[in-house]
Amino acid sequence: MSKKRAVYVSARENTPSGWCRESQVVIAKKLIPRQKQMVDWSATLRTWNGEGLQNVDRALVKEFAGAQAGLTRALAIGLTSGILLMLAGMVYIVRLERQTHSRYDQVVHSRRELERLSARLVDAQETERRSIARELHDEVGQALGALLVDLGRFSTGLANDRPELRTQLEHMKSNAERTCQTVRNIALLLRPSMLDDLGLAPALEWQGREVSRHSEIEVDVKSEGVSDNLPDEYRICVYRIVQEALSNAVRHSGAHNAKVLVRQTHRNITVRVSDDGSGFDSRRTRGLGLLGMEERVKRLGGTFSLAAQPYTGVTIIAELPFSSPAGWQS
C-alpha cells in the first residue's frame, strides 16, 4: 500500500502531460501487476479456503460416518441382545409352563388317587362296621342271651336255702343284661339293622330318639318323600351325615334343639341338619368329621355347604343328585 501511495504522489507532482504518460507507465508497470498479484493471491486464498472447507467437510463426513457406523453397531448389538433375551425369556417361560402343567397334572393325579383311596377306605370302613355289627349281634349277643337264659334257669332251680348264692346269681344276671344292652347299642351305632331292614327314614328317627334319650338335645326328625328302596350308598351317606352332625352337636355345641330334614325329589336328595348351639368360626375350624361328611357327599357328585358363626348355631346342607327310577314308591 505504501508503494501505491508513493506512485500516486509522484504522479501528482508531474505536469499534466507528463503526469498522464507517467501515470500510464506506472499503472502499466506497477498497478496492473500488483492488481493481478492481488487477484492471484485472492484466488489462491479462495482455493486454500475451499480446500480447507473441503477438508473440514470430509472430516465431518468421516466423523459422521464413524458415528453412524457406531450407532448402527450399537443398535445392532442392542437389537440382537434384545432378541436373544426375548428368546431366552420365552424358552424359560415355556419351560416354567411345562413344569407348571406337569406339577398340576401330578397334583390332579395325586388328588384323584387320594379320592379313590378315600372312597376305598370309606367302603372298607362300612364293610368292617357291618361285619363287626353282625358279629356282635349274632355271636356275642346270642352268647350273652344264652348266658342270661342259663342264669335264669339256674336261679329258678336253686333252693331257697341259699340266699347268698341267689343274690350273686341276680348280680351276674344284671351284669349280663347290661353287657348285652351295651353290645346291642354298639352294634346299632356301627350299623343299625333297621337301615337294611326298614329303610332310611326309620333309622333316622331311631337315631334322633337315641340322641334325645342320651343327651340334653331335643331332636326333631322329618322325612319328605324318602324312598324305602334307596341304594345302599345313598342310605349310608345320608345316615352318616346325620349321625356325625348330631354327634358334633352333642359334643361341642351345647345346643338344646336340633332339626333334621331329609327331602327327596325327582332330581336330588337334600339333607339339612341345624342346631341352636354356640356355633363356631367355620373359616378357622374344620374338623375331621366335617371333612368326612364333605368327602362322602363329593363321592356321590353332590355339594356340601356349612353355615356356622359363633353363637348362631350350625346348619349343614348336603345336596345329592339322584333320579328315582320309574316305579319307585316313596
**Each residue of 235-292: pLDDT tens digit?**
888 998 998 888 888 888 788 899 999 999 888 899 999 888 887 766 666 667 788 8
Q: For the residues 15-22, what does the mean pLDDT come to?
A: 59
pLDDT of residue 19 exceeding 60, the answer is no
Strands (E), the chain: 218-224, 257-264, 268-275, 303-308, 314-321
Total domain count, the chain: 2
191, 217, 238 - which closes a domain: 191
Same-domain status, 305 and 214 = yes
Tallying the residues shown for the chain, one arrives at 330
Residues 6+ apart with CB under 8 A from 322: 230, 234, 264, 267, 268, 269
User: How many angstroms separate the CA atoms of 194 and 204, rounded?
Assistant: 10
Q: Integer distance in angstroms from the first to the last C-alpha of the chain?
A: 139
User: How many angstroms separate the CA atoms of 268 and 181, rounded?
Assistant: 37
Which residues on adjacent β-strands are paired with residue 274? Answer: 259, 315
Helix (H, G, I), strand (E, B) or coil at 170: helix
pLDDT of residue 68 exceeding 70, the answer is yes
Q: Picking from 14-23, 97-106, 140-149, 190-199, which range would have the lowest pLDDT averaged per residue?
A: 14-23
Helix (H, G, I), strand (E, B) or coil at 15: coil
pLDDT of residue 293 exceeding 70, the answer is yes
Q: For the residues 295-312, what does the mean pLDDT come to?
A: 84
Cell 314308591 sits at which residue? Answer: 329
| CATH number for the domain that contains residue 284 | 3.30.565.10
Q: Can you give the pLDDT at residue 271?
A: 92
Q: Picking from 117-126, 229-238, 288-297, which range would have the lowest pLDDT averaged per residue?
A: 117-126
pLDDT of residue 326 exceeding 60, the answer is no
Same-domain status, 159 and 186 = yes
Same-domain status, 115 and 184 = yes
Residues 6+ apart with CB under 8 A from 12: 19
Same-domain status, 67 and 155 = yes
Same-domain status, 220 and 137 = no
Same-domain status, 103 and 210 = no
Same-domain status, 73 and 175 = yes
pLDDT of residue 204 exceeding 80, the answer is yes
pLDDT of residue 200 exceeding 80, the answer is yes
Same-domain status, 49 and 125 = yes
Q: Which domain holds residue 251?
A: 199-330
DSSP letter assigned to residue 302: -
Same-domain status, 211 and 239 = yes
Confidence grade of residue 325 (pLDDT, cut at 50, 70, 90): low
Q: Can you give the pLDDT at residue 330?
A: 45
191, 210, 232 - which closes a domain: 191
Same-domain status, 23 and 86 = yes
145, 175, 191 - which closes a domain: 191
Residues 6+ apart with CB under 8 A from 321: 267, 268, 300, 301, 302
Of the spans 74-78, 147-151, 289-293, which averages the highest pLDDT? 74-78
Q: Can you give the pLDDT at residue 3?
A: 53
Same-domain status, 146 and 236 = no
DSSP letter assigned to residue 138: I
Q: Can you give the pLDDT at residue 17?
A: 57
Q: Can you give the pLDDT at residue 1?
A: 54
Q: For the chain, what is the mean pLDDT? A: 80
Helix (H, G, I), strand (E, B) or coil at 275: strand
Cell 331257697 sits at which residue? Answer: 160
Same-domain status, 52 and 73 = yes
